[in-house]
Chain A
Amino acid sequence: MSDLTDLYQAVILAHNKRPRNRGKLPTATRVASGDNPTCGDNCTVYLCMDGEKIGAVSFEGSGCAISQASASLMTTQLVGKSPAEAESTFAEFKDIVTTGGEPEAFSEIAAFAGVHAFPARIKCATLAWHAALDALKQPDRPIDD
């Protein structure tokens, strides 16, 4: 029996209530969107590269507390990382939300371990991450308004 407070940890509720880095990033040079057609959730991730590393990240979109908190937390995790590091952080995050395991080093992403007991919600947790990895694969170009 899984408790809802396992799913909706304080960290998740806080990120949902006051998301970090929400809104369009004016300096962005890469952007990608993802959606979840069965539930109507959508997420757009903006990236600005600083050399080989991610300089700034933001997101836009609408969705449930899990997807919004995940997107918000993700933006705090990706800054300063190379694309390869971003991918391995996502791999670790995905492992946590599908198995309920713990991160190797202390990280707020541990708050998402409760998702594994609600398989229907795993897609909510990974939506923003997929968009971010898509954006990372693109060449740099100006983002039109």
Chain B
Amino acid sequence: MTHDFSNLRVDFPVLDQHVGGHPLVYLDNAATTHKPRSVIDAVARFYERDNSNVHRGLHALSMRATDGYEAARARTAKFINAADPAEIVFTRGTSESVNLVAQSWGAANLKPGDVVLCTEMEHHSNLVPWQLITARTGATLRYVPVVGDDAEGGLDLEAVDRLLTPEVKLFAFTHISNTLGVTNPVKELCAKARAVGAISVIDAAQSAGHEMVDVQDMGCDFLAFSGHKMAAPTGIGVLYGRRELLDTMPPWQGGGGMIANVEYAASTWKPAPERFEAGTPNVADAIGLHAAIDYLDSVGRPALGAHESELAQMACSALSELPGIRILGPRPGSARAGMVNFAFRDVHAHDVVTFADQDGVALRGGHHCNQPLMRKLGLPSTIRASFYLYNTPADVHALVASMRKILKFFGAE
């Protein structure tokens, strides 16, 4: 069954507006996506009818709030095929999820001589937490390089084999790069990590809301993603962790909701996931995440990912004909995830983004939270167009037309 992607725009109230006198063409989805009416309504309904704290009240509203929050956890577990809802920890987002693993698992397990391996294409969120914890524990941080002047070869898989030595205790890598549009062979990477006894951490920020993510099939130990990048509200995210690992990990924050018993001298902890959710959780947005998952699955993830990737390839091919353009990641005509990142020789990214905005085209310009990679590629700043289920070929045409206009204005044609 193929879904009709031509009219999903009507499900997203925010898209019904003009910017600069033009209908909004929103192509900054890798930064954050918009929310469908059903998600906005689910959050509003919670505040209007069920609002209460969870896991502590015995009254009707508290029970409804608790049920809603735990149903969201169970739905999320099913969404990524986790074996047990207890393997789902709710966080604020990908960044917090990765920091949790670093601060809890990392602090308890890393020591001098150990190696944490990550990759040159990691978002700062899956890089800086490893810098912090390796500096604190005396472990060493190493990077798998990317291949090619425009990183068109993706991750250097031979280097992975070379770098995955027995000293490596943890291997952290992204599923889909937010800068390159490259999809990494995560199942293979998890297997290689396991072979040397390292645990694997997948950054699924750019994949979870776009394609099928099956943690058991991938064989990962941890997987992190953000609700706001997949049609859910901001402020809610997920850390999946294998049960055996989560149960051995110490808490990383203390507070209400995570304790079994508190004495003045010391306390004991609840098992996962509560152990890692100190304080009142973000109940409303977890319920919003549940609604977003239902929405995405009603569209169907495999079709959704294929749609975005088709738009990105269409954009990549059309843009590649513009003078002085440099495109990162897969070459035109090759498979790519739903985004394209590029730079012009003659016009700076910020000027491009300001111009496109006047045409109602929302793009991202900058280093995309990937400064070391951009530096390596010799690009201080690039332009990114990223697609989601509500985008259409007409949006690609608007993008390309706007780019042509800009090049003309700056006399770069």
Contact = CB atoms under 8 A, between A and B. Distances in A.
A66 B350 CA distance: 9
Contact of A4 (B348, B355, B366): B355
Contacts of A63: 348, 350, 380
Q: For this complex, into which size category does the number of interface residues on chain B fall?
A: 10 to 19
Contact of A40 (B351, B366, B410): B366
A7 interface: yes
A134 interface: no
A15 B340 CA distance: 30
A8 B358 CA distance: 13
B370 to A, nearest CB: 10
Contacts of B366: 38-40
A124 B410 contact: no
A131 to B, nearest CB: 16
Interface string B337-349: 0000000000111
A66 B380 contact: no
A41 interface: yes
Interface in B147-163: none
B369 to A, nearest CB: 10
A118 B380 contact: no
A41 B351 contact: no
A84 interface: no
Contacts of A64: 348-351
A7 B354 contact: yes
A42 interface: yes
A40 B348 contact: no
Given A8-B409, A64-B348, A64-B349, A40 B354 contact: no
A120 to B, nearest CB: 8
Contact of A121 (B354, B358, B411): B354
Nearest to B380: A40
B380 A65 contact: no
Contacts of B21: 1
A62 interface: yes
B348 A65 contact: yes
B350 A124 contact: yes
Interface string A68-85: 100000000000000000
20 contacts: A8-B351, A8-B409, A17-B411, A39-B350, A39-B365, A39-B367, A39-B381, A40-B366, A40-B371, A40-B374, A41-B380, A41-B381, A62-B348, A63-B380, A64-B349, A64-B351, A65-B351, A66-B351, A68-B348, A118-B354
